[in-house]
């Protein structure tokens, strides 16, 4: 998949994947969703974000996890 909203720049935020060159890490957005925040709550907290940024952050995170082999023992 090609990501148009997730950017990685070694000179910004230490190369952490961010949204559209903003200093908003993908992990921050994904964490907010994981905590149960709604799209509207996230957009209120980060007015520079757009709904598509949140969607692509989740897609990016899903693909990143897909790249790793998880241990097959007990619970994580």
In total, how many domains does the chain have? 1
Instruction: Give CA–CA dist 11/75, Å, rounded.
Output: 37
Q: Please name every residue paired with 7 in a beta bridge, in sequence order, or none if there are none.
A: 18
Digitized pLDDT (tens) for each residue of the chain, 76 residues in all: 799 999 999 999 999 999 999 999 999 999 999 999 999 999 999 999 999 999 999 999 999 988 777 667 665 5
Q: Which domain holds residue 45?
A: 6-66
**3-class DSSP assignment, residue 58:** helix
Q: Is residue 26 part of a domain?
A: yes
Q: What is the CATH number of the domain that holds 48?
A: 1.10.10.10
pTM of the model: 0.85
Count other Cβ atoms within 10 Å, centred on residue 24: 19
Q: Is residue 73 part of a domain?
A: no
């Amino acid at each position: 998949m090609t990501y148009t909203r997730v950017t990685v720049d070694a000179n910004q935020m230490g190369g952490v994947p961010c949204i559209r060159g903003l200093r908003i890490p993908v992990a921050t957005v994904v964490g907010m969703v994981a905590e149960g925040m709604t799209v509207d709550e996230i957009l209120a907290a980060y007015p520079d974000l757009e709904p598509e940024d949140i969607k692509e952050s989740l897609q990016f995170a899903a693909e990143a996890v897909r790249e790793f082999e998880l241990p097959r023992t007990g619970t994580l």
